[in-house]
Amino acid sequence: MLLTGSGAFLFGRTTVNKRGGRAIVCGASMAGLLAARAVSEFYESVTLVERDVLPTDSAQRRGVPQGRHLHALLSRGSPALNELFPGILDELAAAGANVIDDGDLSALCFRVGEHELNRSGTLADPASLVVHLASRPMLESHVRQRVRAIENVTILDGHDVVEPIADQMDRVTGARVVDRDTGEETVLDAELVIDSTGRAARAMAFLEKLGYGRPVQQRYSVGLNYSSQFLRIPAGMIGEKMIAIGPVPERPTGVGLFAYENDTWIMTLIGVAGHPLPDDLAGMIDCVAQFATPSLEAALRAATPVGDVSAQHYPSSAWRRYDKMRRFPAGLLVCGDAICSFNPVYGQGMTMAALQAVSLRRCLAHRDDGDLSRRFFRATAKQIAPAWWGNRFNDFAVTPMTGWRLVARRLVNWSSDKTMAAAQNDIAVAEAFVRLLQMQDPATRLLRPSVLARIVGANRRLQPD
CA quadruple 355, 360, 366, 371: dihedral sign? positive
Quickly state the pLDDT bin for 1 (edges 50, 70, 90).
very low
Q: What is the CATH topology of the domain spanning 8-64+138-216+321-392?
A: FAD/NAD(P)-binding domain (3.50.50)
Quickly state the pLDDT bin for 150 (edges 50, 70, 90).
very high
Q: What is the pLDDT of residues 223-248, one digit of tens each?
A: 999 999 999 999 999 999 999 999 99
pLDDT of residue 60: 87
Q: What is the chain's alpha carbon radius of gyration, rounded to the nearest angstrom?
A: 23
pLDDT of residue 407: 84
Quickly state the pLDDT bin for 169 (edges 50, 70, 90).
confident
Answer whether residue 402 shows pLDDT above 80. Answer: no
Q: What is the pLDDT of residues 329-383, one digit of tens each?
A: 999 999 999 999 999 999 999 999 999 999 999 999 986 556 899 999 999 999 9
Quickly state the pLDDT bin for 167 (edges 50, 70, 90).
confident
Could you tell me where the DSSP H helices lie in 127-198? 136-148
State the maximum Cα–Cα separation within the chain, in Å, rounded to a whole number: 79
Orientation of helix 427-437 relative to helix 404-425, angle to 10°:
120
Answer whether residue 11 shows pLDDT above 50. Answer: no
User: The whole model's pTM is what?
Assistant: 0.92
C-alpha 262/C-alpha 87 separation (Å) is 21
Answer whether residue 19 shows pLDDT above 70. Answer: yes
Q: Can 8-64+138-216+321-392 and 220-315 be said to share one CATH topology? A: no
Answer whether residue 3 shows pLDDT above 50. Answer: no
How many other C-beta atoms are found inside a 10 Å radius of the C-beta of residue 212? Answer: 19
Q: What is the pLDDT of residues 420-456, one digit of tens each?
A: 999 999 999 999 999 999 999 988 888 899 999 999 9
Domain residue ranges in the chain: 8-64+138-216+321-392, 220-315, 401-462
Class of domain 220-315: alpha beta
Phi, psi of 167 (to 5 degrees): -70, -20
- For 341, the 3-state DSSP assignment is strand
pLDDT of residue 17: 64
